A and B are shown apart, each in its own frame.
Chain A
Amino acid sequence: AQSVTQLDSHVSVSEGTPVLLRCNYSSSYSPSLFWYVQHPNKGLQLLLKYTSAATLVKGINGFEAEFKKSETSFHLTKPSAHMSDAAEYFCGGLTGGGNKLTFGTGTQLKVEL
Protein backbone atom coordinates (compact mmCIF):
# COMPACT_ATOMS: atom_id res chain seq x y z
CA ALA A 1 0.00 0.00 0.00
CA GLN A 2 1.11 3.49 -0.68
CA SER A 3 1.62 6.10 1.99
CA VAL A 4 3.06 9.60 2.05
CA THR A 5 4.94 11.38 4.81
CA GLN A 6 5.27 15.13 5.07
CA LEU A 7 8.43 15.84 6.96
CA ASP A 8 7.60 19.30 8.31
CA SER A 9 4.41 20.33 10.04
CA HIS A 10 5.30 24.04 9.81
CA VAL A 11 7.54 26.00 7.45
CA SER A 12 8.20 29.71 7.69
CA VAL A 13 9.83 31.77 4.93
CA SER A 14 10.28 35.41 4.11
CA GLU A 15 8.47 36.89 1.14
CA GLY A 16 10.59 36.61 -1.98
CA THR A 17 12.66 33.67 -0.72
CA PRO A 18 12.41 30.06 -1.97
CA VAL A 19 9.90 27.59 -0.62
CA LEU A 20 10.63 23.90 0.00
CA LEU A 21 7.94 21.58 1.35
CA ARG A 22 9.07 18.00 1.75
CA CYS A 23 7.18 14.81 1.00
CA ASN A 24 8.38 11.22 0.94
CA TYR A 25 6.39 8.29 -0.33
CA SER A 26 6.48 4.58 0.17
CA SER A 27 5.17 2.39 -2.57
CA SER A 28 5.82 -1.00 -4.04
CA TYR A 29 4.89 0.25 -7.48
CA SER A 30 5.11 3.36 -9.57
CA PRO A 31 3.13 5.96 -7.70
CA SER A 32 0.78 8.73 -8.65
CA LEU A 33 1.51 11.70 -6.43
CA PHE A 34 -0.14 15.06 -5.86
CA TRP A 35 0.17 18.31 -4.03
CA TYR A 36 -2.92 20.14 -2.83
CA VAL A 37 -3.23 23.54 -1.16
CA GLN A 38 -5.88 24.49 1.38
CA HIS A 39 -6.50 28.10 2.29
CA PRO A 40 -8.43 28.84 5.48
CA ASN A 41 -12.07 27.83 5.27
CA LYS A 42 -11.63 26.68 1.69
CA GLY A 43 -11.58 23.29 0.01
CA LEU A 44 -8.42 21.62 -1.23
CA GLN A 45 -7.14 22.83 -4.59
CA LEU A 46 -4.91 20.70 -6.80
CA LEU A 47 -1.50 22.32 -7.33
CA LEU A 48 0.13 19.62 -9.44
CA LYS A 49 0.28 15.90 -10.08
CA TYR A 50 2.85 13.29 -11.08
CA THR A 51 1.61 10.30 -13.06
CA SER A 52 4.84 8.69 -14.34
CA ALA A 53 5.45 11.13 -17.17
CA ALA A 54 8.06 13.89 -16.72
CA THR A 55 9.79 13.77 -13.34
CA LEU A 56 9.70 17.56 -13.01
CA VAL A 57 6.10 18.64 -12.73
CA LYS A 58 4.98 22.23 -13.05
CA GLY A 59 1.83 23.35 -11.32
CA ILE A 60 -0.20 26.46 -10.77
CA ASN A 61 0.99 29.66 -9.08
CA GLY A 62 4.66 29.01 -9.88
CA PHE A 63 4.94 25.80 -7.88
CA GLU A 64 6.75 22.73 -9.14
CA ALA A 65 7.75 19.35 -7.76
CA GLU A 66 10.36 16.81 -8.72
CA PHE A 67 9.80 13.08 -8.49
CA LYS A 68 13.00 11.37 -7.33
CA LYS A 69 12.69 7.63 -7.28
CA SER A 70 16.14 7.10 -5.75
CA GLU A 71 15.13 9.22 -2.78
CA THR A 72 11.41 8.26 -2.77
CA SER A 73 10.66 11.97 -2.60
CA PHE A 74 8.27 14.42 -4.21
CA HIS A 75 9.21 17.78 -2.71
CA LEU A 76 7.28 20.93 -3.59
CA THR A 77 9.22 24.08 -4.44
CA LYS A 78 8.70 27.65 -5.50
CA PRO A 79 11.51 30.07 -6.31
CA SER A 80 9.98 33.10 -4.64
CA ALA A 81 7.30 33.05 -1.96
CA HIS A 82 4.38 35.44 -2.03
CA MET A 83 2.18 36.41 0.89
CA SER A 84 -0.76 34.73 -0.84
CA ASP A 85 1.07 31.37 -0.65
CA ALA A 86 0.45 31.18 3.08
CA ALA A 87 -1.78 28.12 3.48
CA GLU A 88 -1.67 24.45 4.35
CA TYR A 89 -0.19 22.08 1.81
CA PHE A 90 -0.97 18.39 1.52
CA CYS A 91 0.97 15.74 -0.31
CA GLY A 92 -1.14 12.83 -1.52
CA GLY A 93 -0.72 9.49 -3.21
CA LEU A 94 -3.04 7.11 -4.98
CA THR A 95 -3.61 3.60 -3.75
CA GLY A 96 -6.39 1.04 -3.86
CA GLY A 97 -6.05 0.39 -7.55
CA GLY A 98 -5.78 4.05 -8.40
CA ASN A 99 -8.94 5.32 -6.78
CA LYS A 100 -8.05 5.99 -3.15
CA LEU A 101 -6.19 9.20 -2.40
CA THR A 102 -4.16 9.07 0.83
CA PHE A 103 -2.94 12.35 2.26
CA GLY A 104 -0.02 13.30 4.43
CA THR A 105 -0.57 15.23 7.65
CA GLY A 106 -0.01 18.59 5.99
CA THR A 107 2.55 21.40 6.15
CA GLN A 108 1.49 24.84 7.28
CA LEU A 109 3.37 27.46 5.26
CA LYS A 110 3.83 30.88 6.81
CA VAL A 111 5.13 33.76 4.70
CA GLU A 112 6.55 36.74 6.53
CA LEU A 113 7.32 40.24 5.29
Chain B
Amino acid sequence: EAGVVQSPRYKIIEKKQPVAFWCNPISGHNTLYWYRQNLGQGPELLIRYENEEAVDDSQLPKDRFSAERLKGVDSTLKIQPAELGDSAVYLCASSSHRRSSYEQYFGPGTRLTVT
Protein backbone atom coordinates (compact mmCIF):
# COMPACT_ATOMS: atom_id res chain seq x y z
CA GLU B 1 0.00 0.00 0.00
CA ALA B 2 1.12 3.57 -0.64
CA GLY B 3 2.45 5.41 2.37
CA VAL B 4 1.61 8.84 3.71
CA VAL B 5 2.31 11.44 1.05
CA GLN B 6 3.37 14.98 1.87
CA SER B 7 4.17 17.94 -0.32
CA PRO B 8 6.21 19.94 -0.77
CA ARG B 9 9.26 18.21 0.67
CA TYR B 10 11.12 21.46 1.13
CA LYS B 11 9.97 25.07 1.37
CA ILE B 12 11.94 28.26 1.87
CA ILE B 13 10.02 31.46 2.52
CA GLU B 14 10.62 34.90 3.97
CA LYS B 15 9.11 35.78 7.31
CA LYS B 16 5.59 37.18 7.24
CA GLN B 17 4.77 35.17 4.13
CA PRO B 18 2.08 32.47 4.14
CA VAL B 19 2.84 28.79 3.56
CA ALA B 20 0.77 25.65 3.22
CA PHE B 21 1.57 21.96 3.55
CA TRP B 22 -0.46 19.12 2.13
CA CYS B 23 -0.86 15.57 3.37
CA ASN B 24 -2.58 12.54 1.90
CA PRO B 25 -2.89 9.73 4.46
CA ILE B 26 -2.88 6.01 3.85
CA SER B 27 -6.13 4.95 2.22
CA GLY B 28 -8.72 4.01 4.82
CA HIS B 29 -6.96 5.64 7.76
CA ASN B 30 -9.51 7.72 9.62
CA THR B 31 -7.09 9.41 12.02
CA LEU B 32 -4.66 12.04 10.78
CA TYR B 33 -2.00 13.88 12.77
CA TRP B 34 0.20 16.90 12.14
CA TYR B 35 3.45 17.12 14.09
CA ARG B 36 6.20 19.71 14.23
CA GLN B 37 9.77 18.52 14.71
CA ASN B 38 12.32 21.14 15.69
CA LEU B 39 15.99 20.47 15.08
CA GLY B 40 17.36 18.01 17.61
CA GLN B 41 13.95 17.31 19.11
CA GLY B 42 11.25 14.70 18.87
CA PRO B 43 8.03 15.42 17.01
CA GLU B 44 5.35 17.35 18.89
CA LEU B 45 1.68 16.98 18.08
CA LEU B 46 -0.02 20.03 16.62
CA ILE B 47 -3.43 18.64 15.74
CA ARG B 48 -5.26 15.33 15.45
CA TYR B 49 -8.26 14.62 13.25
CA GLU B 50 -10.79 11.83 13.55
CA ASN B 51 -12.32 11.84 10.09
CA GLU B 52 -13.23 15.51 9.47
CA GLU B 53 -13.25 16.54 13.12
CA ALA B 54 -10.28 18.14 14.87
CA VAL B 55 -10.40 16.31 18.22
CA ASP B 56 -7.16 17.64 19.68
CA ASP B 57 -5.78 21.01 18.61
CA SER B 58 -4.59 22.13 22.00
CA GLN B 59 -0.99 22.54 20.80
CA LEU B 60 -1.84 24.39 17.59
CA PRO B 61 -0.88 28.11 17.74
CA LYS B 62 -4.22 29.32 16.54
CA ASP B 63 -3.20 32.91 15.97
CA ARG B 64 -1.19 31.94 12.90
CA PHE B 65 -1.74 28.24 12.27
CA SER B 66 -4.82 26.67 10.73
CA ALA B 67 -5.64 23.23 9.43
CA GLU B 68 -8.44 21.54 7.61
CA ARG B 69 -9.38 18.05 6.58
CA LEU B 70 -12.24 18.34 4.18
CA LYS B 71 -14.07 15.09 3.38
CA GLY B 72 -11.99 13.29 5.97
CA VAL B 73 -9.19 12.34 3.61
CA ASP B 74 -6.33 14.68 2.79
CA SER B 75 -5.41 17.63 4.93
CA THR B 76 -3.76 21.03 4.67
CA LEU B 77 -1.79 22.84 7.37
CA LYS B 78 -1.30 26.57 6.91
CA ILE B 79 0.86 29.18 8.57
CA GLN B 80 0.06 32.85 8.05
CA PRO B 81 2.19 34.81 8.62
CA ALA B 82 5.29 32.68 9.11
CA GLU B 83 7.88 33.62 11.73
CA LEU B 84 11.54 32.69 12.01
CA GLY B 85 10.74 30.29 14.83
CA ASP B 86 8.46 28.27 12.57
CA SER B 87 11.47 26.76 10.80
CA ALA B 88 11.09 23.03 11.42
CA VAL B 89 10.04 19.78 9.79
CA TYR B 90 6.28 19.32 9.62
CA LEU B 91 5.27 15.68 9.73
CA CYS B 92 1.96 14.15 8.86
CA ALA B 93 0.92 10.74 10.18
CA SER B 94 -2.14 8.56 9.94
CA SER B 95 -3.57 5.55 11.74
CA SER B 96 -6.49 3.19 11.50
CA HIS B 97 -8.70 2.04 14.35
CA ARG B 98 -9.32 -1.13 12.45
CA ARG B 99 -5.73 -2.23 13.05
CA SER B 100 -4.50 -0.27 16.01
CA SER B 101 -4.80 3.33 16.99
CA TYR B 102 -1.31 2.96 18.44
CA GLU B 103 0.46 2.45 15.14
CA GLN B 104 0.99 5.75 13.43
CA TYR B 105 2.46 5.81 9.94
CA PHE B 106 4.51 8.88 9.14
CA GLY B 107 5.15 10.73 5.92
CA PRO B 108 8.62 12.04 4.97
CA GLY B 109 7.81 15.53 6.20
CA THR B 110 8.09 19.05 4.84
CA ARG B 111 11.21 20.92 5.85
CA LEU B 112 10.32 24.59 6.26
CA THR B 113 12.97 27.28 6.38
CA VAL B 114 11.86 30.81 7.23
CA THR B 115 14.41 33.51 6.45
Contact = CB atoms under 8 A, between A and B. Distances in A.
B45 interface: yes
Contact of B108 (A9, A43, A90, A96): A43
B72 interface: no
Interface stretch (B36-44, B61-69, B78-86): B36-44
Contacts of B93: 43-44
A111 B93 CA distance: 28
A102 B107 CA distance: 17
Chain B, interface size: which category? 20 to 34
B42 A106 contact: yes
Interface stretch (A13-21, A45-53, A55-63, A73-81): A45-53
A51 B100 CA distance: 11
Interface of A: 9, 32, 34, 36, 41-46, 49, 51, 90, 92, 94, 96, 98-106
B108 A42 contact: yes
B25 interface: no
